[in-house]
Structure 1
Amino acid sequence: MATMTSELLRPVHAAQALDEAALLRYAAAHVPGFPGPAPSLALTQFGHGQSNPTYCIQASAPGGEARRYVLRKKPAGAILQSAHAVEREFQGITPDKRRNIYLAAAKTLAAIHKIDATAVGLQKYGKRDNYCKRQVDRWGKQYLHSTGEGKPARYQKMLDLIDWLKENIPEEDSSTGLGTGLVHGDYRVDNLVFHPTEDRVIGVLDWELSTLGNQMCDVAYSCMPYIIDATLSENSSYGGFEHSGIPDGIPQLEEYLAVYCSMSARPWPAANWKFYIAFSLFRGASIYAGVYHRWTMGNASGGERARFAGKAANVMVDCAWHYINRENVLRAHPATGMHVLKAPRQGFHVEQEDSTLTNGQGKFVPSEKVMQLRQKIIKFMKDHIYPKEDELYKHAQSTSRWTIHPEEENLKALAKEEGLWNLFIPLDSAARARKLLLEDQSHVSAGSSNDLLLGAGLTNLEYGYLCEIMGRSVWAPQIFNCGAPDTGNMEVLLRYGTKEQQKQWLVPLLEGKIRSGFAMTEPQVASSDATNIECAISRQGDFYVINGRKWWTSGAMDPRCKILILMGKTDFSAPRHKQQSMILVDINTPGVQIKRPLLVFGFDDAPHGHAEITFDNVRVPVTNILLGEGRGFEIAQGRLGPGRLHHCMRLIGAAERGMNMMVERALSRTAFGKKIAQHGSFQSDLAKCRIELEQTRLLVLEAADQLDRHGNKKARGILAMAKVAAPNMALKVLDMAIQVHGAAGVSSDTVLSHLWATARTLRLADGPDEVHLGTIAKLELQRARM
């Protein structure tokens, strides 16, 4: 699907060609900063929308950088007064406004559906019951009328779809109660009028198909952009937002639905959602078939697009069958934080609270799906990881420590079987990978399938409840293929890698067959300021040549490490934040030399370790660059947001394990005539630790929620707060646990010293406290000036 309007560009239609000389004169006189003198000009046209021709102008002065502009004009010829008033149109829309508009659309639809048709005199506007049954019959007949002998050929899958719909009409369709009422029939953002300055709907257009009936049909139809490309043009990829990635600002489908359900007091529609989506696609296919039939007869009103309507009809049918055959399309309950009212009707389910986490409703109440995964991880840790920790530690301290313990690979295979693999992958990244990575889609999670490479379709918030459990053992994250730096590197490849890069490196990382390293920090400079980086990446023909020294390259010592993501400078003369680039380096490339493993408070963290590496005239293909030259900071911001959050989540888990060990020790050991747990000083310190832990957990969950809803940039302040708070809290709790254990706490007989060492490094890794405190302070000062 075209998620950016630039993807809709095509050559200018002959009937809508412009006088380029006149256009240049006008632009030079009226557009500030327009390139000149004598700029070169390239014109293309946007393909979607027929009312007002819209063009892309690319202009560049000789030797200068090209600039792009959008021109929207009234159509040529005589037009009605006040028609095609392009001056009234929006000049653009920010992600925040886009989000508000979609949510306003959901709320407006809910308001329409809550209208009492009888009270406003519309009780005879249509029959409430059997709406879907009548619609399937009507549009099925329309399709048969538009196809067949002497007409465009009938598509057998469409005939099969009609039969499937007739056999699967929801029981609720025969009701005249809840969920029936006023139906718009063509409810979509295109048919809404928004307030000129406020993000609210002030008008709903095109009521030609309105009647009384099953209102969930309206809801499903309004969700079509998530399912299928609205343009359905000849060169379209046809997939909707769930396939191609949701544009900035647009809420997730489930959030949109949750807002509607909450505002309309309707139950969560998971039980029959496949039917309603398939029905919407079927109706669209029938309409397109009619358009194409009229085009073949020479009387279609759709212009050039009508020529592709026959193909579009079949695409919609194929999409419907693909949706029907998916294992999961909508989770059984709304996601955490999405409050949907309990339905009074049998067959619908709402999210239930979990007494192990909370005694009441709240913003951070995990869904049933998340709770099931959480319990599975807790059981897996108890049954398989904790019992193997001593064995894994002994191996990591032996002469064979730079080899992989066979039990680790066995545990990874078991985690895959249990469906606990790659849970860190965000829902949007998994959706993005559907097209680019796994074309047959058989490996892609539909939401909760177990044996799939792309995780369980979780949000960052949902993953937080699971990542915390993994943080209770230093061995657990890699067992679930959720360990750093692999998670961040996989996210980089998912978001920014080319198809070839993904096939070569991402797939084996997702499968757990290889591991990776991230090479950024350098010994000669203060690397917390990435503009200081000195590693040089210079272009020489079809290769980049890399020279520099990196250290603390975590994961590089692992014998399974095959790929490094390296940050260096491609242009030392560019603006400070455009000098850096990221590039993929095969660790076996000539010139890559691992100098030594580095110790963290005496721990070498074998077998993955932290390496010092030199790059001496390392030549890698130009195709290894990520996103393009000068885009390193942009990638880093996208990588570090979720990565920092994962560290914080794991620190919560480490602190929880410290709390548990501390309490067990205090209840079992006697000092000065009574149990340690009975000493007032211990009780006071224990209570303070619990308070700080819970405060930090809520901060981390809020950061995850904001990251999901607003993205890295908007959430950077609270992400910085979490990154400062989590390691400092964990250090305090673990230090207290060590103190209660006495000498045993600093020995290798418990995990406490290793957990403490890891927590201490995280006051430095992914940015030291001082950097994050600076970010927080700057945002506070900006707010004060507003």
Structure 2
Amino acid sequence: MATPTSNLLRPVDPALALDEAALLRYLAAHVRGFPAPAPALALTQFGHGQSNPTYCLRAASATETRRYVLRKKPAGAILQSAHAVEREFQVLKALGAYTDVPVPKVYCLCTDPSVIGTPFYIMEYLEGVLYLDSTLPGISPAKRKSIYFAAAKTLADVHKVDVSAVGLQKYGKRDNYCKRQVQRWERQYLQSTGDGKPARYQKMLDLIRWLKDNVPEEDSSTGFGTGLVHGDYRIDNLVFHPTEDRVIGVLDWELSTLGNQMSDVAYNCMTYIIDSTPTENISYRGFERPSIPDGIPQLEEYLSVYCSISARAWPAANWKFYVAFSLFRGASIYAGVYHRWTMGNASGGERAKFAGKAGNAMVDCAWDYINRENVLQQPPATGMHVLKAPRQEFHSEQEGSALTNGQGRFVPNEKVMQLRKKIMKFMKDHIYPKEDELYKHAQSTSRWTIHPEEENLKALAKQEGLWNLFIPLDSAARARELLLEDRSHISPGSSDDLLLGAGLTNLEYGYLCEIMGRSVWAPQIFNCGAPDTGNMEVLLRYGTKEQQKQWLVPLLEGKIRSGFAMTEPQVASSDATNIECAISRQGDFYVINGTKWWTSGAMDPRCKILILMGKTDFSAPRHKQQSMILVDINTPGVQIKRPLLVFGFDDAPHGHAEIIFDNVRVPATNMLLGEGRGFEIAQGRLGPGRLHHCMRLIGAAERGMDMMVERALSRTAFGKRIAQHGSFQSDLAKCRIELEQTRLLVLEAADQLDRHGNKKARGILAMAKVAAPNMALKVLDMAMQVHGAAGVSSDTALSHLWATARTLRIADGPDEVHLGTIAKLELQRARL
């Protein structure tokens, strides 16, 4: 059974209460993005876990609510080197910043005991599920296997971390790990037992002697097989995605260090050997005997998956030692838990009082295992299959997976293939044939009105289910909860699928967005055009329920359009800290003064709402001065000064406007997320938005290739077809190479965005944003060259596609900004 994170919370134990006033002052001063002003702070405590007390902090201001997790050292006398929250913070910070290992984001570490009594750190609250029972009751067999394989993969990912590259090379000693650990846990056990403390167990003392005599020779190595060790890697220390069988957070790094990683693997496999959950009545038998639950892989199968992904040798030779060592260490940990329970400062609740019994049972189990003749069979073939196709194996049950069995990493699944075929047919049947008519209208005196055929095409797209396909899964889930519980504000006939898309990942949407990019008219027909997609994403992620009802729903339905007002004529707006537009609070209103230009979409007669970025506090830290606010375009003081041209194209009726905001008064409830949160919103908006531009540029380049080849095959120059000239063939081949390279880069960026989010994917997003427009410009320029004079005329789509591609070397950040991001990340890695 899956347990949601929130179900683990309980009232704070009075003995573990914190000074909430002091804590609130500290959080407001040290946690970036903490709700302001002066939020109410509510504390609950996590009941799961036996070590460092862990709390959920709910901070609620007038405009927002956020949750954080606080993890602290226990109060009172504790064992030396135990409960090292400082080390937990160090490893989480390094892994979060530089690796793909799923860990919660950490915000700050406090070592000042005057705040709440002991050191603590703050990290993000992960909304997911935990599997507290390793037998996974109530879970289907197929899902059980998927969950266990996901756990094996994540452990392999932990062990593949290059500790030198992430700044953890001094986190511990690699060699003689097990030898040192036996000595350490012997000391911990002796300090937790005897001399008036809980009694010592003779078999435990005998086990310590056996372990000292049987440390494997490989333990003295510092080479392959040594590195980052989690120290307490169990399935109940993993937070899984709420709906997908993938790990989104590895918790409880208190015992992490550098050393022999096979000890981590064996400890992870303890559930096969013994059920050591501290309860009053339990047999302490692992689920391998008498029979393993249906669907959970056999021990050898599970190990095979890990070994295949991590490229480790089969551990049969020393497996008996590693299992006995893991049981010994677990017994020592439980001895400490039980000792703390007798003193009244254990954090594990009722289970802690049974920890002593559980520890002794682990010792008995260790001796039983040592005395077995055979403990590990030869590996099955499963591991090699997983090594060859890890993503498909671990996501096999996900409806949204972008892969199909055995066909490689970036092959669309059946769902995406069907949508792709529908879009291609729609483009062929409806959009390409109407392009000339739409272009003529856009150049006529009626160009600032909507061509009726455009609305007809949008209605057809809705009927085909090709609507709002850009909406990512996580945003759709949030919007469904907020919007669909009350349908009074939604137009009759609007289905959930129509409003909230097809439930696609960014990777899956990439295959469809590319097709839309083949025509400048297509994205808006499918309600997938900029800036509406970015603005809808902002409202989906950061809008209040009332903001969503008023503005998001009509945008999702395609009844209105929107604009994004950020760039200013008097400053270099690629550095958003330069923005001068002022947003001043006056009672229940904000007053806006400033000038914006290149406000795409604002000329459209359907444009009803603008998202504006300006400064609310010019004295705040540079990245907390900016805020984003909703502005009804019909508000008094909003003056559209003129449309701006892009290489002569005014992109009517969409347009790019220069707008003056002269004492524009908007309700205070129009503020998005809160004052000073503009940069935070911008990063959430620009990640997917930048990628959508890149996807569309792939499509524009593909159309250029098609037109180029068609022209070369049909035109003769100097006695033979253009396609027969060697220079053309060479250029064509180079264009194809660059296009495919860029496509793979964009798909990889989409995949990383899905798996890791904006921050961790920022490097590859920047690469894609630089590569895609430059590649498209090269391909389209070549296509125009092959067309001759016709290529630069308005008789083909090439010139407009080229103009659009050229603007995208500037829009959403110029090349130079993204190149700086890439270089900065490279230099950071080099310094570590």
- How high is the TM-score relative to the length of structure 2? 0.61
Residues 1:504 and 1:193: Cα distance change in structure 2 (over 3 Å): closer
Q: CA separation in 1, counterparts of 2:30 and 2:402?
A: 56
Match of 2:393 among 340, 347, 350: 340
Aligned residue number for residue 625 of structure 2:
579
Structure 2 partner of 1:766 = 812
Q: Which ranges of structure 1 fall in alignment gaps of 5 or more residues?
A: 35-39, 60-66, 114-185, 220-255, 264-300, 304-335, 344-348, 354-359
| Cα distance in structure 1, aligned partners of 2:620 and 2:732 | 53
Partner of 1:644: 690
Match of 1:432 in 2: 478
- Contact 2:46–2:56 (CA under 8 A) maintained in structure 1: no
Work out the CA distance in 2 between the residues paired with 1:697 and 1:54. 44
Q: How do 1:49-448 and structure 2 match up within 5 A?
A: 49=47, 70=70, 72=72, 91=88, 93=92, 99=102, 109-110=148-149, 188-189=236-237, 196-197=256-257, 202-203=267-268, 204=271, 205-206=276-277, 210=287, 215=293, 338-340=391-393, 352=404, 361-439=407-485
Q: Aligned match of 2:592 in 535, 546, 555?
A: 546
SS of 2:758's equivalent? helix
Deviations 1:430-450 (A, max 9, x none): 122222222269999xxxx99
Question: RMSD value over aligned CA atoms?
Answer: 4.6
Deviations 1:728-761 (A, max 9, x none): 1111111111111111111111101110110111
Secondary structure in structure 1 of the residue aligned to 2:484: coil
Deviation at 1:415, TM superposition (A): 1.0
Q: In structure 2, what is the Cα distance between the partners aligned to 1:688 and 1:368? A: 31
Please tell me whether the aligned partners of residues 43 and 56 of structure 1 are also in contact (alpha carbons under 8 angstroms). no
Q: What corresponds to 1:673 in structure 2?
A: 719
Decide which moves more: 764-773 or 193-202: 193-202
Q: Which residue of 2 aligns with 1:707?
A: 753
Q: After superposition, give the CA deviation of every residue in 1:117-170 in whole Å (9 maximum; x if it has no partner).
A: xxxxxxxxxxxxxxxxxxxxxxxxxxxxxxxxxxxxxxxxxxxxxxxxxxxxxx
What is the Cα deviation at residue 579 of structure 1? Answer: 0.9
Match of 2:533 in 1: 487
Say if 1:100 and 1:527 are closer, same or farther in 2 by CA, change over 3 A.
Answer: closer
Cα gap change, 1:337 to 1:384, in 2 (>3 Å): farther
The code of the aligned residue for 1:411 comes to: L
- Structure 1 residues 759 and 189: CA distance shift in structure 2, 3 A: same
Deviation at 1:540, TM superposition (A): 0.7
**Equivalent position of 1:592 in the other structure:** 638
Question: In the alignment, is residue 741 of structure 1 matched against residue 787 of structure 2?
Answer: yes
How many residues are paired up? 573
**Tell me, what secondary structure is at the counterpart of 1:553?**
strand
Q: CA deviation at 1:47?
A: 3.7
Whether the 8 Å CA contact 1:425–1:491 is kept in 2: the answer is yes
Gaps of 5+ in 2: 32-37, 60-66, 105-128, 135-144, 153-233, 240-250, 278-283, 310-347, 351-388
Q: Which moved more, 1:482-491 or 1:205-214?
A: 205-214
Structure 1's 352 and 218: CA in aligned 2 closer, same or farther, altered over 3 A? closer
Residue identity opposite 1:109 in structure 2 = Y
Deviations 1:54-76 (A, max 9, x none): 568999xxxxxxx9994757699
Indicate the structure whose relative CO is greater, using CA pairs within 8 Å and at least 6 residues apart: 2
Q: Name the structure 1 match of 2:380.
A: none
C-alpha distance in 1 between matches for 2:293 and 2:797: 57
Shift of 1:685: 1.0
- Quick check: 1:464–1:649 contact (8 Å CA) kept in 2? yes
Counterpart for residue 681 of structure 2: 635
CA deviation vs aligned residue, 1:343-395 (integer Å, no higher than 9, x gap)? 9xxxxx99647xxxxxx843211111111111111111001111111111111
- Aligned counterpart in structure 1 of residue 566 of structure 2, from 517, 520, 523: 520
Taking structure 1 as reference, are residues 752 and 617 closer, same or farther at Cα in structure 2, changes over 3 Å only?
Answer: same
**CA 1:438–1:208: 2 relative to 1, 3 Å:** farther
Partner deviation per Cα, 1:647-666 (whole Å, 9 max, x = no partner): 01100100000000011011
**Alpha carbons of 1:578 and 1:742: their partners in 2 closer, same or farther (altered >3 Å)?**
same
Residues 573 and 750 of structure 1, relative CA distance in 2, 3 Å threshold: same
Within-5 A mapping of 1:620-631: 620-631=666-677
Amino acid at match of 1:489: N
Q: Name the % identity.
A: 77
**Cα distance, 1:89 vs structure 2:** 11
Matched to 1:48, the amino acid is F
Q: Does 1:48 align with 2:24?
A: no
CA distance in 2, matches of 1:496, 1:41: 18
| 2-structure distance, mates of 1:337, 1:695 | 23
Contact 1:567 1:581 in 2 (8 A): yes
CA 1:215–1:389: 2 relative to 1, 3 Å: farther
Q: 1:342 to 1:639 in 2, by over 3 A?
A: closer
Moved more, 95-104 or 490-499: 95-104
User: C-alpha distance in 2, partners of 1:630/1:339?
Assistant: 41
Aligned equivalents of 2:523, 2:694: Cα separation in 1: 13
Q: CA deviation at 1:776?
A: 1.4
Displacement of 1:566 in angstroms is: 0.3
* SS of the residue 1:617 aligns to: strand
> Secondary structure, in 3 states, of the residue corresponding to 1:453?
helix
Q: Deviations over 1:514-534 (max 9, x none)?
A: 110000011111111111111
Q: Distance in 1 between matches of 2:100 and 2:520?
A: 42
- Which residue of the partner structure matches residue 558 of structure 1? 604
Per-residue CA shift, 1:15-63, capped at 9, x if unaligned? 7657x69x989x99xxx999xxxxx99985424317676568999xxxx
Secondary structure in structure 2 of the residue aligned to 1:696: helix
The answer to whether the Cα contact below 8 Å between 1:471 and 1:654 also exists between their aligned partners in 2 is: yes
The code of the aligned residue for 2:590 comes to Y
- Secondary structure at the aligned position of 2:538 is classed as helix
Deviation at 1:216, TM superposition (A): 5.5
Matched, 1:661 2:707: yes
Change (3 A) 1:668 1:97: closer
CA distance in 2 between counterparts of 1:669 and 1:409 reads: 37
Distance 2:714 2:535 in 1: 44
**Could you tell me whether the CA contact under 8 Å between 1:443 and 1:452 is conserved in 2?**
no
Counterpart CA distance in 1 for 2:475 and 2:69 is 30
Q: Structure 1 residues 520 and 439 mapped into 2: Cα distance closer, same or farther (>3 Å)?
A: same
Q: 1:755 is aligned with what amino acid?
A: L
Residue 188 of structure 1 deviates from its aligned partner by: 4.1
On the 8 A contact 1:187/1:218 being kept in 2, the answer is: no
Matches within 5 A, 1:473-484: 473-484=519-530
* CA distance 1:538–1:726, shift in 2 (3 Å): same
- What amino acid is aligned across from residue 49 of structure 1 in structure 2? G
Taking the aligned partners of 1:482 and 1:413, their CA distance within structure 2 comes to 14
1:218–1:90 distance in 2 versus 1, CA, 3 Å: farther
> How far did residue 426 of structure 1 move?
1.0
Specify the alignment match of 1:723 in structure 2. Answer: 769
CA separation in 1, counterparts of 2:506 and 2:773? 19
Letter of the 2:561 partner, please give it: R
The alpha carbon displacement at 1:109 in A equals 3.0
**1:712 Cα deviation after fit:** 1.1
